[in-house]
Amino acid sequence: MLKMEFEQEDWMLEGGCVYSDTDLFFPVGSSMKAMKQANEAKAICMECPVVTECLEYAIRTNQDSGIWGGTTEDERKSIRRQYRKTGLVING
């Protein structure tokens, strides 16, 4: 996930993606390959010790591309809508 512009936060160094293939976290398009990459990235996120911090950061800073906190861009849209209404980041 670390190829977008953002401010570095301490929790990022603990991310499960730090030593993973960055391309997995930024799949391009909706091809089978891209979907497979997204699923692989999400599987890494599900084991990540900072998944909550990551998703909160992505919502708070409006990260609209890539996999963050185990979610795709589309999945974050509804989380973001909820966040605007309630100030809470709720996944699911």
- Residues near 90 by Cβ (< 8 Å), separated by ≥ 6? 79, 82, 83
Scanning 14-22, 29-37, 78-86 for contacts with ligand SF4 by CB under 6 A, the matching segment is 14-22
Instruction: Tell how far CA 18 is from the center of its chain.
Output: 13
**Contact positions with ligand SF4 (CB under 6 A) in 20-59:** 25, 44-45, 48, 50-51, 54
Nearer to ligand SF4, 26 or 85 (CB): 26
Can residue 67 be called a binding residue for ligand SF4 (CB under 6 A)? yes
Burial tier of 55 (Cβ tally within 10 Å: 0-12, 13-18, 19+): buried
Nearer to ligand SF4, 59 or 85 (CB): 59
The CB-nearest residue to ligand SF4 is: 15
| CA–CA dist 77, 9 (Å, integer) | 23
If one asks whether residue 1 binds ligand SF4 (CB under 6 A), the answer comes out as: yes
Measured CA to CA, the distance from residue 41 to residue 70 in angstroms comes to 7
Q: Which residues bind ligand SF4 (CB under 6 A)?
A: 1, 15-17, 25, 44-45, 48, 50-51, 54, 67-70
